[in-house]
Amino acid sequence: MTYPEPTTPRDDFSDRTPSDHIDGLLARAAQPAPIAEALLARLRTAIVHRTELVSNRYGKEPGRLLSRRTLRHVYLLPDGTTPVLWELEHDTGPVEHLVHEVFADESGVLVAEMDVDVRFGDLEHGPAVIDLPAIRMDLLFAPSSARRHRVYEEDNSADHAVRLLRRAVNPDLPGEAVRRRVLSAVGHDIAFAGNSSRRIDERSVGWTLYEHAFLLPCGEEISLWEVDHSMTTNRHPVCEVYDCMDTARDSAERRLESF
């Protein structure tokens, strides 16, 4: 998405020891983290650590933006193992306050992530986590069957289109004719349009799809479809933009299937 990051990035801990990092992680957790003391003791012996953004999503309701990020904290121990802690941060509660939750296993954070994402109000659950095979955990969200009412923002719609297209990394971007039309927009609206994630080789990978709808001066609507994913060799999140929802979903699914 093209909203600004809702929190100060914490992806560079070069000036902190792994033990200090764990203390900060546990201190900001809303509730005591269900992490065994034996695991915490092992993590405190880590030589180095890093933090990866696994997924994020944004939405809006009257008067506020909603946000959710899922982070993966990886620790390299002296014995060469790399245990992981998972952090979920969001501000989807009744009060606009950033909440942090910490988990020792990926299945726990995925269940919590599903519960948080449903609060955005524009999607329904896919398969229940408990019904999925333990060796292949697929999560699928789909937009709610109720048609969503668009609320067009009338400021800087052309700038929004420029930023969106500039961030895209796919070579088959929408053509010049589509670009000219969205740059003439007098309003824009962003909506969640589905996502899918999968656990592959101890790593969670997947994609999220957003619809960017643009209101043109003639009253016509046109949409661009953004796929956010981290299915890259360096695990850095990127975005791709298409002018057709089916093309966007097919590209995301093909990438996930071949990963």
Per-residue pLDDT of the chain (259 residues; tens, 9 = 90+): 433 333 333 443 444 788 888 998 988 887 777 789 999 999 999 998 888 877 777 776 666 777 888 888 989 999 988 899 999 999 887 777 888 999 998 878 877 887 787 777 654 444 333 333 333 334 444 444 444 567 787 778 999 899 899 989 999 999 999 999 999 999 998 877 877 777 666 666 778 888 899 999 999 999 999 998 878 777 777 889 999 999 999 998 888 877 7
According to the model, what pLDDT value does residue 16 have?
Answer: 73
Show which of 69, 94, 120 is a domain's final residue.
120
Regarding whether 26 and 100 lie in a shared domain, the answer is: yes
Regarding whether 114 and 127 lie in a shared domain, the answer is: no
According to the model, what pLDDT value does residue 149 have?
Answer: 63
Contact 77, 45 (CB under 8 A): yes
Could you list the residue range(s) of the whole structural domain that residue 236 is in?
Answer: 122-259
Regarding whether 130 and 115 lie in a shared domain, the answer is: no
Contact 230, 237 (CB under 8 A): yes
Other Cβ atoms within 10 Å of 253 Cβ, number: 13
Structure token digits, residue 74: 């990886």
Please give the distance of CA 50 from its chain centroid, rounded to a whole number. 18
Regarding whether 92 and 145 lie in a shared domain, the answer is: no
Regarding whether 166 and 102 lie in a shared domain, the answer is: no
According to the model, what pLDDT value does residue 101 have?
Answer: 92
Regarding whether 258 and 161 lie in a shared domain, the answer is: yes
According to the model, what pLDDT value does residue 1 have?
Answer: 40
Regarding whether 189 and 145 lie in a shared domain, the answer is: yes
Regarding whether 87 and 75 lie in a shared domain, the answer is: yes
Contact 148, 122 (CB under 8 A): yes
Regarding whether 146 and 104 lie in a shared domain, the answer is: no
Contact 29, 89 (CB under 8 A): no
For residues 208-221, b (16+ Cβ closer than 10 Å) or e, as one string? bbbbbbbbeeeeee
* Separation between Cα atoms, residue 43 and residue 47, nearest integer Å: 9
Query: Count of domains in the chain?
Result: 2
Regarding whether 256 and 179 lie in a shared domain, the answer is: yes
* Separation between Cα atoms, residue 57 and residue 235, nearest integer Å: 17
Q: Which amino acid makes up residue 192?
A: F
For residue 242, give the H/E element and its range: strand 238-242
Regarding whether 176 and 158 lie in a shared domain, the answer is: yes
According to the model, what pLDDT value does residue 3 have?
Answer: 35
Regarding whether 146 and 52 lie in a shared domain, the answer is: no
According to the model, what pLDDT value does residue 131 have?
Answer: 38
pTM of model > 0.85:
no
Show which of 120, 138, 166 is a domain's final residue.
120
Show which of 102, 120, 138 is a domain's final residue.
120
